[in-house]
Amino acid sequence: MNAPETRRALVASPTPAARAAEERLRANYDFVDPADADLIVALGGDGFMLQTLHTLLETRRHRIPVFGMNLGTVGFLMNEWRLERLDQRIQAAKAFKVNPLRMDVTTIDGEDISLPAINEVSLLRETRQTAKIEVMVNDRAALPELVCDGVLVATPAGSTAYNLSAHGPILPLGSGLIALTPISPFRPRRWRGAILPEKTRIRFRVLDAQKRPVSAVADHREVRDVNCVEVAVDRASPLTLLFDPEHTLDDRIAAEQFIA
């Protein structure tokens, strides 16, 4: 008895290049509605890939794999755009599991908000004054007072994004690690961050939150005027990205360490 055929859905960013590629693919292959799909083909850049993955998380369909093709700028999370041999590429693709972060926030008004993050959770000062943040690691006060522009927690998949720009470490995919990286730290002057096991719980408490307000951002979603932020890896919601065997995500992450 033959295995059932994989039902593919096609989604594209609103850019002209992605829309043109979508038209060409639909003319050559069959696709179903995303709600009925076993697999998603995403056309766009890294931002659109993150948007697609967040949609899967929000609709509780995070176990559906995504094969992206780059019609954006960087395309770190994407494969090369090609019209030909789509079925064969998907069949030969290598799967990578990505565990997102979960950000649980309490604002200074007492509102509780929970959001996922695939790349990073970042805390950022809202005014010209530096932020003062207490950093708790597994209920231990690792830094009683971090004076900075901000601080972030990054996954391996996100370690080459904002984290790298903030001089954080590049983490190999599957390393079971997360990066804790300060953004323009003023005090302690010599602290450059930490590499922690992914089972670590990190809690940030904003000191003097009224005078020195801080926002918390999960990838692209911002919560302003936060009081406390807890960040942990969400192992219950793994995401699956598919990559061509000759250019996989772990290869890209490794290669980034040798770029001058």
157 annotated among ligand-binding-site residues: yes
Q: How far apart are CA 6 and CA 38, in angstroms?
A: 6
119 annotated among ligand-binding-site residues: yes
37 annotated among ligand-binding-site residues: no
* Domain map (residue ranges) of the chain: 8-99+237-256, 101-233
Ordered DSSP codes for 21-63: HHHHHHHHS--B-GGG-SEEEEEE-HHHHHHHHHHHHHTT-TT
CATH class, domain 101-233, is: mainly beta
Q: Residue 76's pLDDT is what?
A: 83
Residue with token string 């065997």: 245
Q: Does CATH place domain 8-99+237-256 in 3.40.50.300?
A: no
Beta pairing, strands 177-183 & 150-154: antiparallel
72 annotated among ligand-binding-site residues: no
pTM for the whole thing? 0.87
256 annotated among ligand-binding-site residues: no
| Residue of 30, 38, 46, 250 marked active site | 46
Strands of the 8-12 sheet, one edge to the other: 8-12, 39-44, 66-70, 239-243, 94-98
Q: Residue 259's pLDDT is what?
A: 66
Omega into 188 within 30° of 0, i.e. cis?
yes
Q: Residue 1's pLDDT is what?
A: 41
Q: Residue 2's pLDDT is what?
A: 41
Sign of CA dihedral 126, 104, 201, 137: positive
Question: Along the 260 residues of the chain, how does pLDDT read in single tens digits?
Answer: 444 578 999 999 999 999 999 999 999 999 999 999 999 999 999 999 999 999 999 988 989 999 999 998 878 889 999 999 999 999 999 998 899 999 999 999 999 999 999 999 999 999 999 999 999 999 999 999 999 999 999 999 899 899 999 999 999 888 899 999 999 999 998 899 999 999 999 999 999 999 999 999 999 899 999 999 999 999 999 999 999 998 767 777 767 766 65
Q: Residue 258's pLDDT is what?
A: 66
Same fold: 8-99+237-256 with 101-233: no
Kindly report the backbone phi and psi dihedral angles of residue 23, in degrees, each rounded to the nearest multiple of 5, phi listed first: -60, -40
47 annotated among ligand-binding-site residues: yes
Q: Residue 173's pLDDT is what?
A: 80
46 annotated among ligand-binding-site residues: yes
Whether 46 is catalytic is: yes
